[in-house]
């Protein structure tokens, strides 16, 4: 995200819409990147979202709709293991979006 405010806006929206059970915002981080034929550098904020497998596609689509950039980084990493109570919380929190 280009700003802390943009990160908070997206985090609040997708949690309120029950597409994610929770969000964690970290940053700022310095990024160096190649974009539009030029080397760039700037600050970014990362939003890590916790969701279920069933809500993943809808969450990714919504983040892309809300994000101010044309091609934001939207990736997923599966959780190999977590406690049953944590997994149940994720499922309950995102069940309303299904």
Query: For the chain, what is the domain count?
Result: 1
Q: What is the pTM of this model?
A: 0.91
* CA 89 – CA 21 distance, rounded (Å): 8
Residue pair 42/28 in contact (Cβ under 8 Å)? The answer is: no
pLDDT tens digit string along 64-83?
A: 999 999 999 999 999 999 99
Q: Residue 71 sits in which domain range? A: 4-95
In the three-class reduction of DSSP (H, G, I as helix; E, B as strand; rest coil), residue 73 is classed as coil
* CA 47 – CA 73 distance, rounded (Å): 10
* CA 15 – CA 31 distance, rounded (Å): 26
**pLDDT over 90 (residue 97):** no
CATH code of the domain in which 67 resides: 3.30.70.120
Residue 82 has a pLDDT of: 97
**pLDDT over 70 (residue 6):** yes
**pLDDT over 80 (residue 96):** no
pLDDT tens digit string along 17-66?
A: 999 999 999 999 999 999 999 999 999 999 999 999 999 999 999 999 99
């Amino acid at each position: 995200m280009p700003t802390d405010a943009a990160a908070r806006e997206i985090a609040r929206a997708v949690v309120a819409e029950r597409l994610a059970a929770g969000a964690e915002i970290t940053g700022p981080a310095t990024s160096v990147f190649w974009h539009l034929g030029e080397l760039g550098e700037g600050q970014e904020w990362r939003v890590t979202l916790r969701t279920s497998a069933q809500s993943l596609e809808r969450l990714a689509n919504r983040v892309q709709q809300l994000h101010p950039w044309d091609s934001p980084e939207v990736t997923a990493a599966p959780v190999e293991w977590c406690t049953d109570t944590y997994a149940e919380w994720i499922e309950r929190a995102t069940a309303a979006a299904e």
